[in-house]
């Protein structure tokens, strides 16, 4: 038996549910000699802002128990250089290209970026990164907000709604776990017209150098990723799956096929591999093979029958 691995995320059909998460795979060129990129379900780019961004002060990463903290700060070349220098290679690879975008200062930048990408045929979907913990966007009064957009249902609704008006591309909204109720935020994104939800982004954390009595990251706090956050991520996927009708891309500590399967059973239609790419570049290919083997062993003909199959 050859089980069917293809899934739909919105109107985008991908040949298998294994994607690579934004910020952990560069623009794919960095991995082309280590991974057969054609085997991926989709590639999510490093997050792009309107203007080039240098990112946060070093050090930008540090190890933690069963994970890592990062405070990269969305370093990227800006939308113009991305379209001219990075996208041409991505278009030649084969899997759908999902471009992650973020606002650097003004939330209106999301709209400008989405309008630009809407005209690009090589872009299959847009991911709204409204949940990066390492940048702060100005609010309506022109001050840097203490909250992320994804920490407020009204702000989430407004941004998704505004972007929805300017693009027909598949729209993915990436949610933050640093909230009281992720279901409330997910429902706001759904009501505003998002096609897909992606969760979770990193958990905000702090690691201290006890000898110097200083933060181990230049940005002081950072985003915690890796296996340490997986139970939180799986729980949030399960909660959102029960309360919304949108397909979910699950992520957070996926390192192998069993951890990917947890997300699918909890309700994710697809998964994205993040931190594990730094440890084992070909891990996504191994996960595809492992998921296929599981379906054969369990005599499941279509992976869609596995999604949301968690027993009470």
Catalytic residue set? 132
The candidate with the shortest Cα–Cα distance to 205, out of 185, 229, 175, is 229
Instruction: Give the number of other Cβ atoms within 10 Å of residue 250's Cβ.
Output: 29
């Amino acid at each position: 038996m050859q089980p069917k691995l293809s899934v739909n995320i919105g109107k985008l059909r991908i040949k298998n549910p294994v994607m690579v998460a934004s910020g952990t795979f560069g623009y794919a060129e960095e991995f082309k000699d280590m991974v057969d990129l054609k085997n991926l379900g989709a590639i999510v780019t490093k997050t792009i802002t309107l203007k080039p961004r240098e990112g946060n002060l070093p050090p930008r990463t540090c190890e933690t128990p069963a994970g890592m903290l990062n405070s990269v700060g969305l370093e990227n070349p800006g939308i113009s250089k991305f379209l001219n220098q990075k996208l041409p290679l991505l278009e030649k690879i084969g899997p759908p290209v999902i471009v992650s975008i973020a606002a650097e200062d003004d939330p209106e930048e999301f709209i400008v970026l989405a309008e630009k990408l809407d005209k690009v045929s090589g872009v299959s979907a847009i991911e709204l990164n409204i949940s990066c913990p390492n940048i702060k966007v100005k609010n309506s009064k022109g001050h840097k907000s203490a909250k992320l957009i994804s920490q407020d249902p009204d702000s989430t609704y407004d941004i998704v709604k505004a972007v929805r008006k300017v693009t027909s591309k598949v729209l993915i909204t990436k949610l933050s776990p640093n909230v009281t109720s992720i279901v409330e935020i997910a429902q706001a994104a759904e009501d505003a017209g998002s096609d897909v939800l992606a969760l979770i982004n990193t958990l905000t954390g702090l690691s201290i150098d006890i000898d110097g009595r200083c933060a181990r990251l230049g940005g002081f706090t950072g985003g915690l990723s890796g296996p340490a956050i997986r139970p939180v991520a799986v729980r949030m996927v399960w909660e959102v799956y029960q309360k919304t009708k949108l397909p979910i891309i699950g992520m957070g500590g996926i390192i192998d096929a069993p951890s990917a399967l947890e997300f699918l059973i909890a309700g994710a239609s697809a998964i994205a591999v993040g931190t594990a790419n730094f440890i084992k570049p070909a891990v996504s290919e191994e996960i595809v093979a492992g998921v296929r083997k599981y379906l054969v062993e369990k005599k499941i003909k279509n992976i869609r029958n596995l999604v949301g199959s968690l027993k009470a």
